[in-house]
């Protein structure tokens, strides 16, 4: 059996090699309990040697590029996302043509649209599946390459779909929103399609819970001034909200 410090060093080596490891995987690899692994991961994160994620850990230096899977994001901050979605639906009028970005908050919004008469353009296969149950909703699903991590369609074919349309409103998701550094996402292809969505809509509405604020990830797709409205939750700092408003963005709390 490894001593504690030796085990923690081996855990760091393992995570760096695999680029991602779950608690269950580490328990099996090092023959220790889940509580021991979680304690080790906390201590390693406190020492800036790894970064904990939902159910596991990644290398410390990879957080800028790290993107949780759709399932991992869906289980996080669900009440906040539902609150944001309920506020967002107030922006939608009967007969609107709207763009729904892929994401877990836009997914919650999609579930609130089923009784409406709308045209919805999306690159999210999960959102399209939800909306096909709405009798008054015409669903336009872009083509493109499937990103399994986000279950979204990306690439030139998907981007071209947004070049061909004009929508009333676009509801955009983001992994990070910073007053000075703008809106960012860990993936370049996701960033590219988000740019096209913003360009295709008359009104641009950003949906971002408090964990996305003051955060910067790898690929920038817009300035904060490129959106008209920001809908967030009550845990977002008043300082961030004030700074966003000074940039001309109207902020609503769901």
pTM of the model: 0.75
* Matching residue, tokens 């809106």: 183
Residue 230 to residue 213: CA distance in whole angstroms: 11
Residue 44 to residue 61: CA distance in whole angstroms: 13
Mean pLDDT within 243-247: 97
User: What torsion, rounded to 10 degrees, do the Cα atoms 46, 42, 179, 254 define?
Assistant: -150
How far from 147 is each of 143, 166, 208, 251, CA to CA, in Å? 12, 25, 21, 31
Domains in the chain, please, with CATH? 4-63 (1.10.10.10), 72-253 (3.40.50.1360)
pLDDT per position as a tens digit, 149-197: 889 999 999 999 999 999 999 999 999 999 999 999 988 899 999 999 9
pLDDT of residue 1: 62
pLDDT per position as a tens digit, 32-70: 999 999 999 999 888 878 888 888 988 876 555 556 655
Coil/strand/helix, residue 251? strand
pLDDT of residue 134: 94
Identify the CA nearest to 76 among candidates 184, 214, 212, 252.
212
Residue 55: which H helix or E strand, with range?
Answer: none
Residue 4 pLDDT class (50, 70, 90 cuts): confident
pLDDT of residue 74: 56
Coil/strand/helix, residue 52? strand
Residue 212 to residue 223: CA distance in whole angstroms: 15
pLDDT of residue 70: 59
Here the tokens at position 221 are 């797709």
Residue 108 to residue 97: CA distance in whole angstroms: 18
Mean pLDDT within 218-235: 96
């Amino acid at each position: 059996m490894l001593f504690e410090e030796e085990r923690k060093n081996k855990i760091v080596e393992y995570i760096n090699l695999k680029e991602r490891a779950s608690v269950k995987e580490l328990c099996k690899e090092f023959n220790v309990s889940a509580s021991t692994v979680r304690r080790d991961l906390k201590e390693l994160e406190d020492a800036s040697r790894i970064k904990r994620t939902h159910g596991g850990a990644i290398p410390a230096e990879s957080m800028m590029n790290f993107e949780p899977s759709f399932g991992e994001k869906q289980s996080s901050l669900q009440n906040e996302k539902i609150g944001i979605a309920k506020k967002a639906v107030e922006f939608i009028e009967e007969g609107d043509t709207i763009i729904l970005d892929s994401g877990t908050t836009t997914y919650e919004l999609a579930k609130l649209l089923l009784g409406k008469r709308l045209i919805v353009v999306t690159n999210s296969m999960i959102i399209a599946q939800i909306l096909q149950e709405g009798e008054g909703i015409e669903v336009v699903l872009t083509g493109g390459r499937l990103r399994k991590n986000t279950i979204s369609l990306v690439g030139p074919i998907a981007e071209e779909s947004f070049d061909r349309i004009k929508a009333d409103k676009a509801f955009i998701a983001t992994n990070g929103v910073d007053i000075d550094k703008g809106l960012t996402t860990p993936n370049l292809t996701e960033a590219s399609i988000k740019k096209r969505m913003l360009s295709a809509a008359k009104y641009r509405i950003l949906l971002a819970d408090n964990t996305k604020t003051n955060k910067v990830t790898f690929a920038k797709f817009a300035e904060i001034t490129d959106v008209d409205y920001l809908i967030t939750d009550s845990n977002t700092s008043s300082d961030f909200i004030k700074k966003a408003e000074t940039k001309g963005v109207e902020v609503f709390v769901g």
